[in-house]
Amino acid sequence: MSVDDLLPYLKAHRQKLLDSLANGTYRPMPVKRVEIPKPNGGKRKLGIPTVVDRLVQQAVAQVLTPIFEQVFSDSSFGFRPHRSAHDAIRQVIDLYNQGYHWVVDLDLKAYFDTVNHDLMMKFVSQYVQDPWLLKLIRRFLTSGVMNGHVFEPGIKGTPQGGPLSPLLANIYLNELDKLLVSRGHKFVRYADDCNIYVKSKRAGQRVLVSVSRFLERNLKLTVNREKTQVGSPLKLKFLGFSLGVNRNGTYARPAKTSKQRIKQALKQITKRNRGISLERIFREIWQKMRGWLQYYGLGKLQAFIKRLDQWLRSRIRQYIWKSWKKIKTRIKRLRQLGESLREAYIYANTRKGPWHTAHTGVLEYTLTNEKLEGLGLINMSKTLQQIQSA
C-alpha cells in the first residue's frame, strides 16, 4: 500500500483498525529492509514499516514525546522538537570557550541494530504504565524484518526508518545521559553521536574507560574501540563540523572530510561524459548545494566556498567545451559568444585538453561568471551570504 492509498483504506477499515488497537489484537507487520550507502562507505540498514504501521507508530510517538521531553537532558539534541544539529554545535563552541579543550568522541557499533529489547522496555516502563501501550511498543520492536523474501526475527535493535525508532533510541541512551549528568560531565549528544568534554587528555582517558564500561555492561552496547578516541575538538569531527580558533574567538567550520565529500559529489555531477543538458546539471548542483550550504552555513566557510565556486565554473566550462565536439561547432559557439573569427579558429583547433582549455582566457572571458549564472549556475558565495544574513 502506498501513502496515496492510505486515506481510502482508512475510510473503509477505520473502525476495524481502531478496534484492533483497543482490544490488543493489533500486530505490526515486519519492516522492509532497505540499505543505503553511508557517506564514509559501507551500508546503513533501514527498516521501512508499512504505511498503516507508520501511522500507528506516529500516533504512539505523539503520546510518548511529551512524557519523555520532560526527562530528557538539555545536552541531547537529536530527533527532538525545537532542537537541531546547529544547537548542538553552538553548545560545543560554548564548552570550548569555557576551557573544555579535550573531547571523548564515543562511537557505538551498529547502535540501532543492537539495542536490547528487555532493557528498552524497562526504561520505557519507568515513565509509562499502560500495559497495552507497553505491549504495542514491544510488538513493534519484535516485528522482525523482511530482507527480500527472507524473514528475520526481531531479536534486538530498533530499525531506523519508522517514526518511533528515533524516540526509542533517545529513551535508551537517556540512561547514558543520566549517568553523565550525575558525574558532572559536560557532554553533547545527537542520537548515537556522543561527545564528552573535559579539560585534560588524562581526564578524557579516564572518562573513556569508565563510560565504555557502563555502555557495555549496563546497556549491552558495543563501543567501537578503533573509532572511539580522546582528542582535540579542533581536529576531530562532530556532526560534520570541526572547531577553529582565531583572534575573534571560537567558530565552527566544515570538517575536512565534509569538504572533500561535497567536492567529490560535484565532480560526479559535472563528469565530462554524462551527456546531459546544462539545465539538468545546474538543477542537480542547486539541489545538492542548497541543502549543504544551509547546513554548513553555521560555520566559517566563505574562503572555501569562493575557491569551490571558481573550481566549479572551470568544471562547467570544461563540460561545455567537451560538448562542442567538432571544430566547426567550437568556432560557431565562440563567434556567438563574441570572439573574433581568428581567435575562434585558433582556439577551436587547440590540442590542449578540455581542463586546460577551461582555464584559458578565451573561455573565461566568453563564458563569464555572469553568463554562467544567467544560464542557471548557482553562485555559491551569494547564496551563502543570503543564508547567513537571513
Q: What share of the chain has pLDDT > 70, as a percent?
A: 96
pLDDT tens per residue, range 227-263: 999 999 999 999 999 999 998 899 999 999 999 999 9
Give the mean pLDDT of the chain: 91
pLDDT tens per residue, range 265-287: 999 999 978 878 889 999 999 99
What ranges make up the beta strands (E) of the chain? 31-37, 43-48, 102-106, 145-147, 150-152, 186-190, 193-198, 229-231, 241-246, 249-254
pLDDT tens per residue, range 54-73: 999 999 999 999 999 999 99
* Short-list 9, 119, 111, CA closest to 56: 9
Q: What share of the chain has pLDDT > 90, as a percent?
A: 67
Q: Are 324 and 333 in contact (CB under 8 A)?
A: yes
Band of the pLDDT at 175, cuts 50, 70, 90?
A: very high
Out of 130-144, 195-209, 248-262, 356-370, pick the least confident.
Answer: 356-370
Q: Cell numbers for 236, please give them.
A: 576531530
The model's pTM: 0.88
Query: Rounded mean pLDDT of 315-319?
Result: 88
State yes or no: pLDDT of 147 exceeds 80.
yes
Out of 122-126, 333-337, 346-350, 379-383, pick the least confident.
Answer: 346-350
pLDDT for the residue numbered 1: 61
pLDDT for the residue numbered 346: 66
Q: Are 93 and 243 in contact (CB under 8 A)?
A: yes
CB atoms within 10 A of CB 352: 12
- Give CA–CA dist 20/99, Å, rounded: 56
